[in-house]
Amino acid sequence: MVDFSGYFKSYLDVLPILLIVISLYWTRIIGGPWVPSSIQVIYRMLDMADVGPDDTVYDLGCGDGRILVAAAKRYHARAVGVEIDPIRYLWCQILISVLGLRNQVQIIFGNLFNLDISGADVVVCYLMPDALSKLEKKLKTELEPGKRIVSNKFTFPTLEMVKKDGNAILYKIIPNHSEINSL
């Protein structure tokens, strides 16, 4: 067995390391590990979704907040991010304060599957396929027809793809057939 007694004077010395390790792996259970999108992919995703100043962009699993910042600064949209990792949540809170985006960007600490997303015009996500399968029903239930969804890299099982450009994949919520027939 390895003796770490020379490295750590108390159990409190191990706590920051333990928090970082937990932070890196437990988000995978909910939606996916944190893998930041490049700024080029972010702009491509937001351009594809035709984001503008009248839009509210939801980033499900907002990580370090870079999509929220881009939506607010470049596209002048309102942005809402949800993050379950307490370290990244705190980072986002500090970031939007430092950048002066408090009036435009909101960060919610919690599970994206428990968040009401009905206020979104655009939903952005970079989640694993199993999380997208789970999320799809929520999107169809809570979003009105015409609302846009952009996924980075991974696809939804049954949502109809509107456009694909590199890793950016655009979907739109369409009315279901029973709603069309009743009009």
Tens of pLDDT, residues 16-28: 666 666 655 555 5
pLDDT above 90 covers a percentage of the chain that reads: 69
pLDDT in tens, 7-51: 556 656 666 666 666 655 555 555 566 778 999 999 999 999 999
At 175, list the tokens: 């009315």
CA distance 2 to 132: 41
* pLDDT confidence bin for 183, thresholds 50/70/90: very low
pLDDT score recorded for residue 87: 85
Query: What homologous superfamily does CATH list for 39-181?
Result: Vaccinia Virus protein VP39 (3.40.50.150)
Pick from 42, 33, 40: nearest CA to 65: 42
65: alpha, beta or left, given left = phi > 0 and alpha = psi -120 to 50?
A: left
**Domain coordinates in residue numbering, the chain:** 39-181
The contacts of residue 61 (CB under 8 Å, 6+ apart) are 27, 30, 31, 32, 34, 82, 83, 84, 112, 125, 126, 127
Residue 78's beta-bridge partner residues? Answer: 56
